[in-house]
Amino acid sequence: MSNQLLTISMITNEALRILTNQLVFTRAVSRQYDDKFAIEGAKIGTTINLRKPPRYVGRTGPALQIESSVETYVPLTLGTQFGVDMAFSTQDLTMNISDFSDRFIKPAVATVANKIDYDGLQQFLNVYNMVGTPGQLTGATAPTQAQSTAAILAARARLNQEAAPVDEERHFVVDPATEVGIVSGLTNLFNPSGTISSIFKKGALGDSTLGFNFAMDQNVSSFTTGTSTAFTVSAQAGGSVQTNAQTSFALTISSLSGTMPAGTVFTIPNVYAVNPQNRQSTGALRNFVVVSGGTASSTSINVFPTPIFSGQFQNVTSSTGTIPSGTATIISGASGTATSYANSMAFHKDAFAFGTADLILPQGVDMAGRAAADGVSIRLVRQYDINSDQLPCRLDVLYGWSTVYPELAVRVTG
């Protein structure tokens, strides 16, 4: 039976199928697809505002106490158009879809999937919760069983303290070196024997390990520390909730030596995290992350989250109800020299959002097709070159990332 000429629809749908299967980190997060652009077409810079529900304190007793319903939002900007350009001969298009997929579509889509996952894992810079000891899981000496277990359970405990849903949507994405370290530390831990056998045969962590769905992603980022080892926080009032939930807070500081890049995580003495549901102190110091870096001359730095000491959105507590003066402690690695540490990520699905939208289908070309499924939209456009008897083809995805609930994610440094 002779092969039929491959259509643009067949190629586009095959590309979408492969893309959704090859995504690792992205497959584990919330995916936002806005089909309103199917007619008018999306453009780079288009913003989708993701609304977050109000939070209430509640009342005790029969007296009516109406609370204001404060809605916040997180912007997701479709800021990246990424694609791969190819050219096929008319002979290529007479292949069956399986052969064509292996030769052309899979390598192209692997590049797109890698870029999407890489950009998504850069969201770690917005995450302020951090556990682990820098260098412990990926050092020259393999971590012990106790160290591997402690790192995973510390991440689990932090998510519990932040009231993350306890369901099947908790994920743990690790870099290759951390995976090796954790596997070597946990091989003899598990019971029943089926789990031990799976880890031993695959040399990899699987689903439902200590409460997480594990995956390895080569795109897990390393954080390069600054040269600062500490700095002083000045006594000051906290902030208030902002309509744009990604708004940072200007923290007044002094005595900063060296550099402190964006992504640095630190704690302030006597400023404690609270459970967002009962607003009681967790007993652990609140982690803050630097949004824009500082130098020795800096008198303030922008940090996240905004410290809020009371009300519906309270996230910290202190004995004074303010930010006290004191020496901040850098926990993301502070040795006085710039050092890189892998930052794996434990998170609930709702912590991050990946968004795509339909790109316009241009006129005046040989063929143009678009496919969308499971929160991902992909476009394929083909033109004919009479001089070479080839069909130049472009594959595009327009997407953006946003950290919607940073409290539902934990950086695991190792």
pTM score of the predicted model: 0.88
The whole-angstrom separation of Cα 75 and Cα 32 is 12
Q: Are residues 109 and 96 in the same domain?
A: yes
Residue type, 229: T
The burial class, CB within 10 Å (0-12 / 13-18 / 19+), for 134 is buried
pLDDT for 203 equals 42
Token pair 């459970």 is at which residue?
275
Helices and strands (H and E) in the chain: how many: 7, 21
Q: Are residues 316 and 280 in the same domain?
A: yes
Q: Are residues 231 and 319 in the same domain?
A: yes
84 neighbors 381 (Cβ within 8 angstroms): no
Q: Are residues 346 and 208 in the same domain?
A: yes
**Structural domain for 166, as ranges:** 127-223+341-350
pLDDT for 95 equals 82
Is 258 part of a structural domain of the chain? yes
Is 198 part of a structural domain of the chain? yes
Is 414 part of a structural domain of the chain? no
104 neighbors 88 (Cβ within 8 angstroms): yes
Question: pLDDT of 35-56, one tens digit each?
Answer: 655 545 667 778 888 888 888 8
Residue type, 221: S
13: left (phi over 0), alpha (psi -120 to 50) or beta: alpha
The burial class, CB within 10 Å (0-12 / 13-18 / 19+), for 97 is middle
DSSP state of 126: G
Q: Are residues 237 and 369 in the same domain?
A: no
Q: Among residues 311, 338, 365, which one ends one of the domains?
A: 338
pLDDT for 92 equals 83
Rounded to 5°, angle at Cα 263 from 349 and 329:
110
Q: Are residues 77 and 182 in the same domain?
A: no
Distances from the Cα of 17 to the Cα of 22, 110, 269, angstroms: 9, 12, 50
Is 3 part of a structural domain of the chain? no
Which of 116, 85, 97 has the alpha carbon at shortest distance from 8?
97
Residue type, 174: V
Instruction: Specify the number of domains making up the chain.
Output: 3
In sequence order, what are the beta bridge partners of 357?
34
The span from the first CA to the last CA of the chain, in angstroms, equals 56
Model confidence at 321, in pLDDT bands (50, 70, 90)?
very high
Q: Are residues 260 and 303 in the same domain?
A: yes
- Between helix 106-121 and helix 8-22 the angle, nearest 10°, is 40
Q: Are residues 250 and 277 in the same domain?
A: yes
The whole-angstrom separation of Cα 34 and Cα 38 is 8
How far from chain centre, in Å, is Cα 396?
22
Give the residue-averaged pLDDT of 142-147: 66
pLDDT for 2 equals 45
The whole-angstrom separation of Cα 410 and Cα 172 is 9
The whole-angstrom separation of Cα 285 and Cα 287 is 6
Q: Are residues 189 and 328 in the same domain?
A: no
Q: Are residues 331 and 236 in the same domain?
A: yes
H/E element, 326: strand 326-330
Question: pLDDT of 106-131, one tens digit each?
Answer: 999 999 999 999 999 999 999 999 99
The whole-angstrom separation of Cα 48 and Cα 324 is 38
pLDDT for 184 equals 66
The whole-angstrom separation of Cα 314 and Cα 194 is 44
More confident residue, 6 or 27: 27
Question: pLDDT of 344-368, one tens digit each?
Answer: 999 999 999 999 888 888 988 988 9
Bond into 305 cis (ω within 30): yes
Q: Are residues 314 and 366 in the same domain?
A: no
